Structure 1
Amino acid sequence: MSNSILEEIARLGVRSQCATDKGGAAFARLLQIAETGNTSQARRVAAFVASTFNGRRFPFDPFELRAVDAEISDDMLCCLDALRWAQADLYSLVPDGHSRVRAVIQRWGLASRSAS
């Protein structure tokens, strides 16, 4: 392989790792909002968190990005970038993420909504 190809692979690897790191931190903040909030923004965050867990079962309308504060939508976009690089499931980047996301889905009644 030529040096330019190896350099590009290395550059993309760094970019992927950076997106994953930022996405993990953003996901932790969003998960905290979904776990503790009680506003319409928290409900939207919970729906987003659920969609990153299982997008087919919990679809998320991207226009919801307009209905939350800029900091929250920035975190959502970081999560989407991390998902694009597909190094890890976002819930696996936070302590006890799997059970915490499942608890958020239950707390906000998202499981029953997705069945309809």
Structure 2
Amino acid sequence: MESSLEKKQRVNLLMDCYCDLLTDKQQDYLTLYYEEDLSLAEIAEDLNVSRNAVYDNLKRAVASLEDYESKLHLLEKHVQRMDLIKRIEDEQNTSREQLDDYLEMLKRI
């Protein structure tokens, strides 16, 4: 089960990948909640809407982000690239053949 911190981190990463595909309203809600760390009540007060409206908009916006990721896999590919780069950096005695293998993996991602 995903903790709230893990969910927040995932949403922030998804926002980095797909924020421009969301409506301005969705971007605003996500930014206020996930980046500025405002509560539902604070957002509702700031935007003059109900707390339930904030919750519903956040839920739809996150669902949109997850939908984009399920189709485009930008975050998944980014994580794969970063893991591979870390493996390369961590291996002190990497042979030329191993480096070539890593480069080929990067090209496939």
**Could you state the TM-score of these two structures normalised by the residue count of structure 1?**
0.30
Larger Rg computed on CA atoms: 2
**Could you state the TM-score of these two structures normalised by the residue count of structure 2?**
0.31
